[in-house]
Homo-oligomer: A and B are copies of this chain.
């Protein structure tokens, strides 16, 4: 269904001369703006349940848009919009909880919601609450998701699968939620530090949200025209995530992260970027997980430590309404 919608809405996309438009399917759009860039992004949030260990829909809506801007290299955030869709009869206490979480996330990310909108739908016309945020930011250099060359290294900024597995466990009612927490966090400052350390040695970024690390890496590799060799044992994974993944039969490479970035770097920038990331509270577990190689565009070759296998092209998030 999502593919269908995107196919329809991406039919005959507008030209964005010299910039990044919708046809690029990057994390946002970028317009040349004087000698700088204006970056624009939007996302709707339909996560179910609204509250989960480590966060809620409000924190997700702020961080999601801040992170999409950051993935384009745009950490100079001008402002966010926030639109609220609400089902009549939704509990006031829950609404206040979401609003408090939005405010807290804005403080964490040091961003402001400048304007918003509210629409009410009748009971039964909407399942609770949906948020939409858009964001606008500036930067000097746009970072795309398609800039990898053979020899470039791939960093993940921390453990993978935390958000998706926390939601999956909650939905499966496993009673093990205590060990699982969403990683939802604003990456603005982390990315700013990495960019300061790596400069134009940072050649690609993407946040592995819906579809997970495998899907994001596939897109990066496919668009860049390279194969990625992934070092499986190097991919940081928390024990409870590993255990839940085995229990539920869900590959942690295929579930959403909401506070992680995949960063492609030129070899000579690797040490500086990695040090900058690990020096930040949100990047302590940053690891080098792969290398770009000449080869078929989009191939992901996973070295498991006991052999190599080709990751099948990911089909997206195994659960709906994960973010």
Contact = CB atoms under 8 A, between A and B. Distances in A.
A5 B302 CA distance: 48
B115 A2 contact: no
A172 interface: no
Given A92-B4, A132-B42, A114 B83 contact: no
Interface string A128-147: 00101010100000000000
B92 A40 contact: no
A110 to B, nearest CB: 11
B130 A85 contact: yes
Contacts of A84: 5, 9, 44
Given A40-B114, A78-B31, A134-B81, A125 B122 contact: no
Contacts of A41: 81, 115
A173 interface: no
Contacts of A29: 79, 81, 114-115
Nearest to A79: B40
Interface stretch (A14-22, A192-200, A254-262, A264-272): A14-22
A303 interface: no
Interface in A28-68: 28-29, 31, 38, 40-46
Interface in A193-250: none
A113 interface: yes
B1 A88 contact: yes
A42 B112 contact: no
Nearest to A96: B8
A12 interface: yes
A11 B99 CA distance: 9
Interface in A92-131: 92, 95-96, 99, 102-103, 106, 112-122, 124-127, 130
Q: Which 8 A-B pairs have the closest CB atoms?
A: A29-B114, A134-B134, A42-B81, A29-B115, A125-B127, A14-B112, A132-B132, A5-B118
Interface of A: 1-2, 4-6, 8-9, 11-12, 14, 16, 21-22, 28-29, 31, 38, 40-46, 78-79, 81-86, 88, 92, 95-96, 99, 102-103, 106, 112-122, 124-127, 130, 132, 134, 136, 320-321
18 contacts: A1-B120, A2-B118, A5-B84, A5-B120, A14-B106, A22-B114, A29-B81, A31-B79, A31-B114, A38-B136, A40-B136, A41-B115, A42-B82, A42-B134, A46-B121, A121-B320, A122-B320, A125-B126
